[in-house]
Amino acid sequence: MEIDETYIGGSKYNKRRNERTGKRGHGTDKQPILGIYHRETRRVLTIVVPDLKRVTINTRIRRHVAEQSRIHTDTFSIYDHLHRWYRHERVNHRQGEYVRGDIHTNGIEGFWGCLKRRLKTTGGIRRSRLQLYVGEYVWRFNHRQTSLEEQTELLLDLVADL
């Protein structure tokens, strides 16, 4: 499993001059999203979270990842206590380390890049609807190897369950 977080929100250039903060990463006011990439199935799970506090993130991870699983993260401090429940390995991006053997977060990082390119073409997205857009893209990503006919059947089954 690879676990990482990203932030989705408007560009500072689209804001009024007095609203431009220029902050990136952990200091930004953009919406945080937690992502979990399963290497064996090559599937992604994303969770739009209200904040990136350790309690919030650990609760979500423990809900979706089996204990004693092997997980890979970066060195962000919210992941410090995961070694209690998991076999936890890290890569230190600040020191230029992105891969150490098979320890990396490249799968989820690649997904974030694809997601952000896709959302950029959509235009303005309300924060309240972000989960819907992200959910659609996750579904497309997880079913990218499925034929169009099978995708259609899966979607019709989802609609029929409503």
Are 34 and 5 in contact by the 8 Å Cβ rule? The answer is yes
Structure tokens of 17?
A: 């001059």
Between 15 and 145, residue with greater pLDDT: 145
Query: What one-character-per-residue DSSP string does 65-99 give?
Result: S-TT-EEEEES-GGGGGGGGTSEEEEE-GGGT--E
Between 26 and 42, residue with greater pLDDT: 42
CATH number corresponding to 2-161: 3.30.420.10
pLDDT, one tens digit per residue, over 58-117 is 999 999 999 999 999 998 889 989 999 999 999 988 888 888 889 899 999 999 998 988
DSSP class of 102: T
Helix (H) or strand (E) holding 5: strand 2-8
State how far Cα 83 lies from the chain centre: 20
Q: Is the pLDDT confidence value at 25 over 60?
A: no
pLDDT band at 123 (very low <50, low <70, confident <90, very high): confident
pTM reported for the whole predicted model: 0.82
| Domain boundary assignment for the chain | 2-161
